[in-house]
Amino acid sequence: MTDFLQLTVAGLSQGSVYALLAVGLIATYTVRHVVNIAQGDYATLAGLGSISLVTAGLPLPVAILIALVSVTLASVLIERLVIARVKNLTTLVSIILTLGVSTLLQAIMLLIWGAEGRRLPAFPGNDLTLGGVSIRSQELWMLGALVVVGGGVLLFYEKTRWGKALRASAEQPVAARIVGISPAVASVIAFAIAGFVGATAGVVSSPIYLSIWSGGLLLGLKGFVAAVLGGLVSFRAAIVGALLLGIIESYVAGYVASGWKDAVAFFILIIVLIIRPAGLVLRPNAVRV
């Protein structure tokens, strides 16, 4: 039982990373109908960047802050230099395009930081033990980041006028313009949010899960699996799905074999896509002719 609970805690903390990445993916998908394969690379980029800054002698909070801001800017830059350059960007082309971005980012990270995985120092705090289950303070930081940043994005998109206008801009550019948001601005804001959320996931998870140049792709794809559970539009379903995915992976690693852990997400992805491509919470859309 203790094992089970311990695995659950580990799964929740890993799931919170997927959840943040899923939030980032949905943030751009709802506004731009872009599936951003590079979403997970934002996390590794922020992780590796903050590690270098800490190594250079900067205090941890400053290093993290700089990393978050830089990756947010990088995401905006990617939007301006790459995404916005393609006319009639379909979702399918966006996948190929951001796959190129992801490959490029990974190669740059490989050249700068090398092939070794690195670790950010743990955030301040004391580890807890509850009924034999130990919870590391870093895991609380990760869940906290999900609540604050992920929850913040969710509230922004669902409750604020600006957020609603952003969501509308994909479906009704004219209506969004009337509210005062041009599609270009909406897209930039969405990518800034995606960059920030991805970077947050990267820095809070680095002390436990390492940052390695090639790690972002898999992380982002698992975020995508979670986002698909929410039909690529529901933040809430995606967050719940991400936490569940983390827990299931953790059980598979603990009870079956750790090597198979990464395959679980893709089995879930394929099964969910085949059974309910519109996600688990929405009714499938009627096709209009």
Partner 1 sequence: MSLLNNAAIRSKTGFWPNNRGTIIGVAVLAVIIAIVPFTASSSMMNIAVFSMIFALPAIGLSLLMGLAGQVSLGQAAFFAIGAYTHAILLQKFEQPALVAAVGGVVAAMLAALLVGLPMLRLRGHYLALATLGLGFIVMIAVREWDFTGRTTGIYGYGRPEVFGIPIDNNGLFFWFVAPFVLIGLVLALNLTRSRAGRALSSVNDSELAAESLGVNTYALRVKVFTLSAGFAGLGGVFYAYQVQIVSPQVAEFHVSVELLLMVVIGGLGSVWGAIAGAFIVELLSEGLRELIPAIIPGATGEVQLIGYGLVLILVIILLPGGLYQVVKTAWAAIRRRMGKRADAASRPVPDGTADAGAGDVPTRAFGGLPGESAASAGTEGLDDTTDAAASAPRIPTVSTPIAAGEPILEVTGLTKRYGGVVAVDDVSFTVPAGRIMGLIGPNGAGKTTCFNMITGAIAPTSGTVRFLGNEIQGRKPHVGAEAGLTRTFQNLQVFSSTDVVGNVYMGRYRKGRAGILRGMLGLQGREQYTHEEVARDILDSMRLGDVAGLAAGDLPFGRQRMMEVCRALAAEPALLLLDEPMAGLSGHERELLATLLRALRDAGLTIVLVEHDVAQVMALADTVAVLDDGVLIAHGDPESVRNDPAVIVAYLGTDAEEAEAELKELEEQS
Residues near partner 1, by CB under 8 A? 35, 82, 85-86, 90-97, 99-108, 110-111, 114-115, 217-218, 221, 224-225, 228, 257, 259-260, 262-263, 265-267, 269-270, 273-274, 277, 286-287, 289
Question: Can you say how many angstroms the Cα of residue 37 is from the centroid of all Cα atoms in its chain?
Answer: 10
- Report the residue number, 100 or 180, with the smaller CB distance to partner 1: 100
* In the complex, minimum distance from the CB of residue 259 to partner 1, in angstroms, rounded to a whole number: 4
* In the complex, minimum distance from the CB of residue 34 to partner 1, in angstroms, rounded to a whole number: 10
Q: Given the structure tokens 């903390």, which residue do they identify?
A: 13
- Report the residue number, 113 or 196, with the smaller CB distance to partner 1: 113
- Measure the CA–CA gap between 164 and 256, rounded to whole angstroms: 44
For the chain, the helix, strand and coil percentages under 3-state DSSP, each to the nearest 5: 75, 5, 20
- Measure the CA–CA gap between 88 and 43, rounded to whole angstroms: 28
Helix (H, G, I), strand (E, B) or coil at 123: coil
- Report the residue number, 1 or 92, with the smaller CB distance to partner 1: 92
- Report the residue number, 62 or 110, with the smaller CB distance to partner 1: 110
- Report the residue number, 85 or 161, with the smaller CB distance to partner 1: 85
* In the complex, minimum distance from the CB of residue 35 to partner 1, in angstroms, rounded to a whole number: 6
Tokens of 46: 């922020």
- Measure the CA–CA gap between 197 and 150, rounded to whole angstroms: 7
* In the complex, minimum distance from the CB of residue 122 to partner 1, in angstroms, rounded to a whole number: 28
Closest CA to 27 of 142, 170, 148, 144: 170
- Measure the CA–CA gap between 225 and 243, rounded to whole angstroms: 11
Q: Which residues contact 193 (CB under 8 A, 6 or more apart)?
A: 24, 27, 28, 153, 156
* In the complex, minimum distance from the CB of residue 80 to partner 1, in angstroms, rounded to a whole number: 12
* In the complex, minimum distance from the CB of residue 93 to partner 1, in angstroms, rounded to a whole number: 7
- Measure the CA–CA gap between 223 and 200, rounded to whole angstroms: 14
- Report the residue number, 130 or 289, with the smaller CB distance to partner 1: 289
- Report the residue number, 255 or 266, with the smaller CB distance to partner 1: 266
C-alpha dist (Å) from residue 281 to 155, 164, 202, 210, 238:
19, 20, 28, 33, 10
- Measure the CA–CA gap between 1 and 116, rounded to whole angstroms: 36
* Torsion sign over Cα 183, 273, 143, 260: negative
Closest CA to 168 of 197, 147, 189, 198: 189
- Report the residue number, 80 or 177, with the smaller CB distance to partner 1: 80
* In the complex, minimum distance from the CB of residue 91 to partner 1, in angstroms, rounded to a whole number: 4
* In the complex, minimum distance from the CB of residue 31 to partner 1, in angstroms, rounded to a whole number: 16
